[in-house]
């Protein structure tokens, strides 16, 4: 039997995220080209990786048809110029697709089956609108396995507001405003740009180059947020301002066994500690990261107080607030989403898990006083996913 190997996050990159739809910067760009671009960018900045030693390429997408079909990991590997001997496959766990690409290949590394793996995800929500072409089994509704509302993510967010009335719309809007402000600040200080791979774009006016996220609204104000429509329910609380939007984008990361990273002279940006997924009532899917985080902490022998940095996917502000509230963390805790999150930069579903990891890895470098960090997200139909990472730069002391 092979011994369990230590798994390290060597590096991660992403494309800038676009706004979905005809006016978005990727309207005329194929989904697979986005993830291919991310993989090429990842390998270019890690020249020590022997391409023929990559054991697998796992790429996630929620809608796996058309330019997101045909076993994405394999097609993306071939298109990115990897040798034919490198295999690949596709993954789907809706919003946690890329997170599951990471945990699945990490499991293979830990088992000793793989030394090196590429894991990521893509979602072109313009070309593949959410829920398009789905055919839920009639038993779901006939047997009341889930209510119709559980199939619409915005409705599930309204239901969290119902469940926790003290988590008001005002608190959700304030959290959303914070996300926009922190992202604007992070862009100003050049925190986000180093991990973006520029993408050539095509539009009616000719060629362009995407070098930054398209969705952030730095001009956001509390008054502006207060006046927005509530599209999921009359007099509801969930708006376009306190939700993530509809976006296009791709992510790619490189994972390795600690031995392989050493052998090939690769960086170690994070060490994997534990991960867990958990199911909850589909009607309030956004609370999924609560039990998955508790499970991941338990498996690691840690408590929430050991986590020094949080990268939580902001599918909806209310859904992040429900996790913070559960663990007794303040809405504006400085350890949480310090460069903002999906409410500002966007959430191209199956790609987002690796975006959280990319940002946590950068923050680890800046915070040697922090030993452990958490990446967590909610998942459609009532799930949560959490991954706990250890900071290889940990010294116990703040950077001077
Ligand atoms: C909420 C949602 C329906 C809004 O979609 P949309 O109407 O296309 O969103 P838009 O970007 O056009 O915004 C709607 C309006 O709000 C305004 N707006 C959005 N964010 C704003 C902000 N931060 N400040 C001020 N105004 C804002 C827009 O300008 C627009 O105004 P207009 O109608 O006058 O043009 C959509 O983003 C959505 O479904 N989000 C959730 C995605 C999801 O479920 N993901 C999976 C999670 S599990």
Structure tokens at 191: 């925190």
Please identify which residue in the block is written with the tokens 């996050």: 9
What pTM value is reported for the model? 0.98
Known catalytic residue: 378? yes
Structure tokens at 228: 């927005």
Please identify which residue in the block is written with the tokens 């990159």: 13
Domains, the chain, with CATH or none: 146-192+272-387 (3.40.47.10)
Known catalytic residue: 326? no
Nearest residue by C-alpha to atom 21 in ligand 1: 241
- Extended strands (E) in 225-364: 247-257, 270-279, 307-312
Catalytic residue among 161, 347, 367, 393: 347
Ligand 1 centroid–CA 339 distance in Å is: 21
Ligand 1 centroid–CA 351 distance in Å is: 20
Testing ligand 1's pocket by substitution, the residue of 134, 152, 245, 344 carrying the most ligand atoms inside 8 A of its CB is 245
Other Cβ atoms closer than 10 A to 211: 11
Q: Please report, for residues 85, 99, 323, 332, 374, the alpha-carbon distance to residue 353 in angstroms, rounded to integers and kept in the order given.
A: 27, 4, 17, 22, 11
Mutual orientation of helices 352-366 and 97-111 as an angle, nearest 10°?
70
Ligand 1 centroid–CA 255 distance in Å is: 35
3-state secondary structure of 283: helix
Nearest residue by C-alpha to atom 23 in ligand 1: 241
Ligand 1 centroid–CA 306 distance in Å is: 35
In short, whether 156's Cβ falls inside 6 Å of ligand 1 is no
For every one of its 400 residues, what pLDDT tens digit does the chain have, with 9 covering 90 and above? 557 899 999 999 999 999 999 999 999 999 999 999 999 999 999 999 999 999 999 999 999 999 999 999 999 999 999 999 999 999 999 999 999 999 999 999 999 999 999 999 999 999 999 998 999 999 999 999 998 889 999 999 999 999 999 999 999 999 999 999 999 999 999 999 999 999 999 998 899 999 999 999 999 999 999 999 999 999 999 999 999 999 999 999 999 999 999 999 999 999 999 999 999 999 999 999 999 999 999 999 999 999 999 999 999 999 999 999 999 999 999 999 999 999 999 999 999 999 999 999 999 999 999 999 999 999 999 999 999 999 999 999 998 7
Other Cβ atoms closer than 10 A to 19: 20
Nearest residue by C-alpha to atom 42 in ligand 1: 245
Contact of 259 with 5, CB cutoff 8 Å: yes
Contact of 283 with 149, CB cutoff 8 Å: yes
């Amino acid at each position: 039997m092979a011994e369990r190997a230590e798994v390290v996050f060597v590096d991660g990159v992403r494309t800038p995220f676009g706004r979905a739809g005809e006016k978005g910067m990727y309207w005329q760009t194929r989904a697979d080209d986005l993830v291919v671009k991310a993989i090429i960018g990842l390998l270019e900045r890690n020249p020590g990786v022997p391409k023929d030693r990559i054991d697998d390429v796992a790429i996630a997408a929620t809608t796996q048809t058309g330019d997101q079909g045909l076993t994405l990991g394999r097609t993306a590997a071939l298109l990115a110029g990897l040798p034919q001997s490198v295999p690949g496959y596709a993954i789907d766990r809706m919003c946690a697709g890329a997170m599951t690409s990471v945990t699945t290949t990490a499991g293979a590394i830990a088992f000793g089956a793989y030394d090196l793996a590429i894991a990521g995800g893509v979602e072109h929500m313009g070309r593949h609108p959410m829920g398009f072409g789905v055919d839920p089994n009639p038993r779901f509704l006939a047997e009341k396995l889930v209510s119709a509302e559980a199939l619409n993510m915005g409705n599930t967010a309204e239901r969290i507001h119902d469940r926790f009335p003290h988590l008001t719309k005002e608190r959700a809007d304030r959290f959303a405003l914070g996300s926009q402000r922190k992202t604007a600040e992070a862009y100003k200080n050049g925190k986000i740009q180093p991990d973006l791979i520029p993408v050539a774009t095509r539009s009616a006016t000719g060629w362009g180059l995407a070098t930054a996220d398209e969705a952030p609204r730095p001009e956001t104000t509390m008054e502006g947020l207060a006046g927005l429509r509530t599209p999921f329910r009359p007099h509801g609380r969930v708006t376009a301002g306190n939700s993530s939007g509809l976006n296009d984008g791709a992510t790619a990361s490189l994972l390795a066994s600690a031995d392989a990273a050493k052998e090939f002279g690769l960086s170690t940006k994070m060490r994997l500690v534990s991960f867990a997924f958990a199911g909850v009532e589909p009607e309030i899917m956004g609370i999924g990261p609560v039990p998955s985080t508790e499970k991941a902490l338990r498996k690691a022998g840690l408590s929430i107080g050991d986590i020094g940095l949080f990268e939580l996917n902001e599918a909806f502000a209310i859904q992040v607030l429900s996790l913070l509230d559960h663990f007794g963390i303040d809405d504006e805790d400085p350890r949480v989403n310090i460069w903002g999150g999906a409410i500002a930069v966007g959430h191209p579903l199956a790609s987002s898990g690796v975006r959280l990891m990319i940002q946590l890895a950068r923050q680890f470098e800046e915070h040697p006083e922090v030993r452990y960090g958490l990446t967590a997200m909610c998942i459609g139909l009532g799930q949560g996913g959490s991954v706990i990472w250890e900071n290889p730069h940990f010294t116990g002391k703040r950077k001077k």
